[in-house]
Structures are given as structure tokens and as C-alpha cells.
Amino acid sequence: MPPRASKRKSAPPNSSSVTSSDGRSVCLSSPEGIEALCADLGVDYTDVRILMLAWKLKAEKQGYFTQDEWQSGLKALGVDSLSKLKKVLPELEKEVEKPSNYEDFYIYAFRYCLTEEKQKSVDIESICELLNLVLGVQFRPQVDSLVEYLKNMLAYDAWTLNFWQVQNDYKISFPDLENYDETQAWPLILDNFVEWMRENQS
């Protein structure tokens, strides 16, 4: 976790910079600037609320907020100081929970991990981290089992957006698997996961 500074004053939000722990002004268009921002807000840079903030700012590149993204995003949030921004972070969680926003955020979370030009898939290690970040709090047992499955199955070394969406579009009751009907057309990855689950439950 980035070091949390004390008794220091950050630059105003509309300047697209913050003050780092050693007193330097750091631009938010750099990973170092994002870490300094997280320290100001009192959250870890791996906190899902930072991902939600990136979604709200419509940030296009992971670990960077452009000046336009920062300023227009804060305007949309209705805040003009870091103290106010800190107070609205919990509200972002409520906003994402709305059905009209959740799918958009869910897809954004995947695309935010596409860090290279023309990249179409995300490696399994990153997918496991993303599953924990986005779904872990609400669906901990399911996510733990899916992550264990993915880490032990060599068939999947990366996921496309289509695979990522499958986890949101198809809901399997857990741990009883009662709503799973093998005669229906489930995505192959879920068929394989259910088979693995049953083998481990027997």
C-alpha cells in the first residue's frame, strides 16, 4: 500500500496533480500520481473503489488519469476538493450496484486491463485478481472456487471479453448447483467448471 502522508496539503483537484508523501507535486497521468492520490484518499490503490473512480472518470488507460478525465469526472461527481471526493467514494459503490450501471462497470473492469494496443485477452493471473476485486465481496465462495479452478486448469491461460461476460450473464446457484441443467446450452467453460465442482464435492 502506498505510504500515507500526514499534515500535507495536496494540489486542488482541478490541477490534475497531487502532492506525494515526500512533498513533490505528482501529475495524475502517471502510476506514481495515482498512488499519491490513493494515499490522500486513505485507500489502497488495489481497492475496488479506485476502479469505480476510474470508471466514473471514464479513464482509458490503466494507472493514468488525463487532465480532461480528471476534471470532467470530478465535475460529474459534483466535487471540488479531495476531502469531498473521499466522502463520495462510498456512494460510487451504491451507484455501481444499480442494474443500469453494473453491467457497464463490469465490462469496463475487463477493458481497463487491456493495457496494450490491439490486446483482446487478459492473462489468467490478472483475471483471478479481477474476479476477486469485482465479485469477491459479494460472491466470495463462488469466486474462491472459480479462482482455484482456473489456477489448476491449464486449458485456460487467458480470457477474452466474451469469457468474462459469461460469469455475469449465467448465474449458477452455489454450492448446490441446483439451477444447472446439463441438457441446456451452457457455455463450455461453465460446463467444465461444474464438472470440476462435482468431482471435488464427491
Cβ-based burial of 68 (10 A; exposed 0-12, middle 13-18, buried ≥19): exposed
Q: How far apart are CA 181 and CA 116, in angstroms?
A: 39
CATH architecture of 13-97: Orthogonal Bundle (1.10)
Percent of the chain with pLDDT over 70: 87
- Residues 6+ positions from 162 with CB-CB distance below 8 Å: none
Q: How many CA atoms lie within 13 A of 193 on its CB side?
A: 27
Higher per-residue confidence, 83 vs 23: 83
pLDDT per residue as tens digits for the range 60-103 = 999 889 889 998 999 999 998 888 999 999 999 999 999 889 99
Amino acid symbol at 97? E
User: Is CATH 1.10.238.200 what the domain over 121-201 is classified as, yes or no?
Assistant: yes
Amino acid symbol at 198? R
Residue (of 154, 147, 157, 158) closest to 121 by Cα position: 158
- pLDDT at position 51, please? 96
Grid coordinates representing 151 are 489456477
Q: How far apart are CA 121 and CA 130, in angstroms?
A: 13
The structure's pTM equals: 0.82
- Residues 6+ positions from 34 with CB-CB distance below 8 Å: 28, 45, 50, 63, 64, 65
Enclosing H/E stretch for 140: helix 140-152
- pLDDT band per the 50, 70, 90 thresholds, residue 188: confident
- pLDDT band per the 50, 70, 90 thresholds, residue 182: confident
Cite the beta strand spans of 108-187 per DSSP E: 121-123, 158-160
Sequence ranges of the domains in the chain: 13-97, 121-201
Cite the beta strand spans of 25-177 per DSSP E: 25-27, 121-123, 158-160
- Residues 6+ positions from 60 with CB-CB distance below 8 Å: 66, 69
pLDDT per residue as tens digits for the range 135-168 = 988 888 889 999 999 998 877 899 999 989 988 8
Compute how many other C-beta atoms are within 10 angstroms of the C-beta atom of residue 6.
6
Whether 121-201 and 13-97 are alike in CATH topology: the answer is: yes
Amino acid symbol at 28? L
Grid coordinates representing 161 are 471479453
Amino acid symbol at 25? S
β-sheet bridge partners, residue 121: 160
